[in-house]
Structure 1
Amino acid sequence: MTIILVLHTLLVLTFTIRILLRDDLSPPGRLAWFVVLNLLPYFGSAIYFLFGETDIGNRASKRHKEVFREIRAKASWFMGDATNTETLIDPVYRPAFRYAGSINGFHPSTGNTAELMRDGDETLSRMVADIDAATDHVHVLYYIWLDDNTGHAIAEALIRAAQRGVVCRAMADGLGSRAIINSPLWQRMKEAGVRMAVALSLKHPIRTILTSRLDLRNHRKITVIDARITYCGSRNSADPEFLIKAKYAPWVDIMLRFTGPVVVQNQLLFASDWMQATNESLDGIPLSSGRGKEGFPAQVMGVGPTERHGATPHLFANLFACAQSELTLSTPYFVPDATVLEALCAAAYRGVKVALIFPKINDSLIVAAASRSYYHRLLDAGCVIHEFKGGLLHAKTLTIDGKISLIGSSNLDLRSFDLNYENNILLQDEATTQAITERQQSYISQSEVVTLPEVLAWHYHERIWHNVIATIGPVL
């Protein structure tokens, strides 16, 4: 019995000391781990060992630094110039664009255009048509790639392109797309000449557990065609019916088709993942400026566990702080850290019209509970919360003052903040922002407003559940 007590004490003490030694962990995160370790010491120790730290491993971190050194040495001109922010961006929004540029070196370039896709059908038909028209190369990267109508159509278009001599590179995340990676369709693409790679492969799961984390994932959705066209938004290579979670369907996504210099920035972001997964150099990736005579300034922003900690919440906080009159945000997963929550409330307190759009029914009960724990604070500050009823609202959008938009793969949750590789495009353009704003208004028209009296009327067990989940949120 004494031996068991000593081992128990050593186990808890070891993980407690490890948590106390971490300078990168926020006080709420540290407290959450203490709660779990004390209430469930054995389970908590195992969970911390598997998921407690965001270190992707020394080899991967070293390779990431090598990749971006090579990209900056060979392609810095395509990444934009930091001085562009001072000449292209309205003064009030420059802090946010400067911050975005500081993350991985992409800065605003002008001459971009964007077209908002009407729905999933148009997205698929336009994407397939663009791949069918490709003459040099097609590059795709998806977190979830299903063997459904959409996934099959993209695969077949890549096969046709490869067979006519177009260089096709296709990547998918090792966990999110594990079914298709092991499918005959994946093998058919290989046999047709499509160059295939797996992002964050799970081929050696034990080694991944010992050196990193299984849930560090590549959540990006990137399509680049002939360095002239790129698609950016929330949609995976999957039907809106989303067969792996069909009861929450339809998945409501948003996608934009871009041309201009921002395309080659997305190309370089794709290249960074390709180089990481294959150990190839940048030399085989075609680069072109694609600058149009007219267009708006935009820049790519890529984040992940190999970038600096807190980059995403800091960017959102900067954007919220720049808002002058209105701010509308949609996200399926809202579990903000203190930085984001306080910035949203501060914007509302100083008179900005803050509209938040979340799904009414979430595919994650844990996320739904954590999200609702923040409703009281947000409503007190003057934010307006809309819960979308037309399926699972998966679109990640932010519009500010009818001028600024952020579109891409990042949610406002701890996974996007710390664990996932994400890609976004930040732009300044009234026409594009108006188009996205109208889409946001269509979401609001299919939503119901959550009022403060309703939240205060929630049963006590609901409120306890929401707040317990929020308390241990950093562990989830």
Structure 2
Amino acid sequence: MPLLFSYINALMWAFVAAYAMLITTLIVAVLSENRNPLKALGWVMALLLFPVGGAVLYFVFGRSMRNVKMISRRNRRRLLNAESHRPMPKLSRQLSPENRRRIMLGYSVAEAMVYSPNSVELINDGSRMFEALFDDLRRARKYINLQFYIIANDPLGRQLGDILIERAKAGVKIRVIYDYVGSFGSHSQILFNRLRSHGIEVHSFFRIQFPEKLGRLNWRNHRKAVIIDGLIGYIGGINVAQRYVDGGSFGCWRDMAVRLTGPGVLALQHNFAIDWKFMGYDLITDEPADSYPMATRERTIDDVLVQIIASGPTNRWGNTHMLFIKAISGAKNRIYIQTPYFLPSEGLLTALQCAALSGVDVRVMLPRKSDSAVLTHASTSYVEECLLAGMKIYFYNAGMLHGKVLLVDDDFVTLGSTNFDYRSFEHNFEENIVMYSPEVNAEIARLFKKDQENCTLVKLSEWNRRQRALKAHESLCRLLSPIL
């Protein structure tokens, strides 16, 4: 018996030593990544105070993909050559100095070319987008590359599936990327298996498997883009789910997307090809189809200079985050923001406050109630300090506001999949279109002001009268905001 106790005791000490070594190794890993000191300190404290829970949380939410190469240099060169990319062109003298610097920033951090001339159609509701998209898909002749965060097996998803299957039978090459977490729980696999049975390539960007691939849970492909024959592209914040058309329980779902034609579609194809290769499949070098008659669209704005900015946790610089800071800090007259979730980084919040305090008209529009109660409370925790700086905060009352728009002055607009929050800037793979165009800017400003008619402007005196319990709830949700 004493020998048994000694054996058990030795095993216990061996386990404690091994676990202590694990925690020490994790702390060293956190420190060696040279993260933001507050984040690093938070993870160190979590690992020390809650060893078991802290270690699990770190494996799921704490690991970094910074500087992971999504594609080899050789394949990147092949891709660039196939797409006839050229070195950064000389920029028009008509561009403002601020926009020239924003373009150069996008090129430096994301290798994002600028393309002109392009035609864009701004679409601010799901029904219009899917009407246009389905019409364009039915005209596809060569290939369709499509990716969404959510593709639901509901009436809208099944209608999309019917169109893709019909085109596949006609010989069109079709590739689909979806996000495993985003499409989880919506019976999507039934739809995906049906598509696969007709020869359509359908793959999740990351597949979550317990326990060996649980760490992928924090990295999600949030991009929404479609490329049709290299001639037509779609990009925005709209997913494939019925609620994006009829509003679901919200009654109204307000969103933003762009239908793009012109050379800028090459950039959407370029980013899709990188995602596809990163998933382990053959490099896509599809050439655009020969020009064919396209559907005539109303409300199209021509001669638009565009830049497509892709960002994600593998990027060294935080591409979209840097672009937003640069755009906001260079504002002279106005900044309009629409976002479903407002959880700005310290740098972005400071840039917005500096702009407002220096006399720039800063307006932020949020949904009165979003599709996430936790994110709603986390977002509203920032309202008071924004109001104190002179920013205008609007709550959209007509339904769910899901659009993701940043407008600056009179000639800069970016929209896409990027929310104004930590997750989009640090953990998600995102994609935005930037449009350097006074005409696009004016139209987005018009739509923004039209949405203001369905909003309530928040007043500081009324906001401060909120219940203490609600303020405490907001503060707690804000504390969780970096991992939401």
Q: Same fold (TM over 0.5)?
A: yes
Alignment partner of 1:207 is 2:218: no
Asked if structure 2 preserves the Cα contact closer than 8 Å seen for 1:84 and 1:107, the reply is: no
Alignment partner of 1:353 is 2:358: no
Q: 1:106 aligns with which of 112, 130, 143?
A: 112
Shift of 1:294: 6.0
Amino acid at match of 2:385: R
Asked if structure 2 preserves the Cα contact closer than 8 Å seen for 1:190 and 1:196, the reply is: yes
Give the Cα–Cα distance (whole angstroms) in 1 for the partners of residues 269 and 174 of structure 2.
13
Map Cα deviations across residues 140-180 of structure 1 (whole Å, 9 max, x no partner): 11110011222122211111111112222222112212456
Who is 1:21 aligned against?
32
Q: 1:198 to 1:66 in 2, by over 3 A?
A: farther
Asked if structure 2 preserves the Cα contact closer than 8 Å seen for 1:250 and 1:392, the reply is: yes
Structure 2 gap ranges (5+): 1-8, 292-299
| Percent identity (aligned) | 27
Who is 1:311 aligned against?
319
Asked if structure 2 preserves the Cα contact closer than 8 Å seen for 1:81 and 1:108, the reply is: no
Who is 1:386 aligned against?
394
Who is 1:265 aligned against?
267
Partner secondary structure for residue 402 of structure 1: coil
Q: 2:379 aligns with which of 368, 371, 381?
A: 371
Who is 1:474 aligned against?
482
Asked if structure 2 preserves the Cα contact closer than 8 Å seen for 1:145 and 1:237, the reply is: yes
Amino acid at match of 1:386: Y
Shift of 1:39: 5.5
Amino acid at match of 1:206: P
Shift of 1:75: 4.1
Matches within 5 A, 1:223-372: 223-240=226-243, 246-248=248-250, 250-283=252-285, 285-287=286-288, 295-372=303-380
Partner secondary structure for residue 387 of structure 1: strand
Q: 2:167 aligns with which of 147, 158, 161?
A: 161
Q: 1:466 to 1:107 in 2, by over 3 A?
A: same
Asked if structure 1 preserves the Cα contact closer than 8 Å seen for 2:165 and 2:195, the reply is: yes
Partner secondary structure for residue 407 of structure 2: strand
Which one has a larger percent helix, Structure 1 or Structure 2? 1
Alignment partner of 1:51 is 2:49: no
Map Cα deviations across residues 412-432 of structure 1 (whole Å, 9 max, x no partner): 111111111111100111222
Give the Cα–Cα distance (whole angstroms) in 1 for the partners of residues 156 and 343 of structure 2.
30
Give the Cα–Cα distance (whole angstroms) in 2 for the partners of residues 383 and 293 of structure 1.
30
Partner secondary structure for residue 261 of structure 1: coil
Asked if structure 2 preserves the Cα contact closer than 8 Å seen for 1:274 and 1:280, the reply is: yes
Map Cα deviations across residues 284-304 of structure 1 (whole Å, 9 max, x no partner): x224798x9961211100011
Shift of 1:117: 2.3
Q: 1:445 to 1:71 in 2, by over 3 A?
A: farther
Q: How many residues get paired?
A: 465
Q: 1:450 aligns with which of 430, 442, 458?
A: 458
Alignment partner of 1:33 is 2:39: no
Q: 2:88 aligns with which of 82, 85, 89?
A: 82
Q: 1:344 to 1:76 in 2, by over 3 A?
A: farther
Amino acid at match of 1:279: Y
Partner secondary structure for residue 211 of structure 2: helix
Shift of 1:327: 0.9
Asked if structure 1 preserves the Cα contact closer than 8 Å seen for 2:338 and 2:405, the reply is: yes
Partner secondary structure for residue 300 of structure 1: strand
Larger radius of gyration: 2
Give the Cα–Cα distance (whole angstroms) in 2 for the partners of residues 38 and 246 of structure 1.
44
Asked if structure 1 preserves the Cα contact closer than 8 Å seen for 2:264 and 2:306, the reply is: yes
Asked if structure 1 preserves the Cα contact closer than 8 Å seen for 2:378 and 2:475, the reply is: yes
Q: 2:76 aligns with which of 46, 52, 69?
A: 69
TM-score (norm 2): 0.87
Partner secondary structure for residue 448 of structure 1: strand
Q: What CA RMSD, in Å, does the superposition of the two structures yield over aligned residues?
A: 3.0
Asked if structure 1 preserves the Cα contact closer than 8 Å seen for 2:124 and 2:255, the reply is: no
Map Cα deviations across residues 352-377 of structure 1 (whole Å, 9 max, x no partner): 10000111112223322322222222
Matches within 5 A, 1:90-169: 90-117=96-123, 119-169=125-175
Partner secondary structure for residue 151 of structure 2: coil
Partner secondary structure for residue 212 of structure 2: helix
Who is 1:409 aligned against?
417
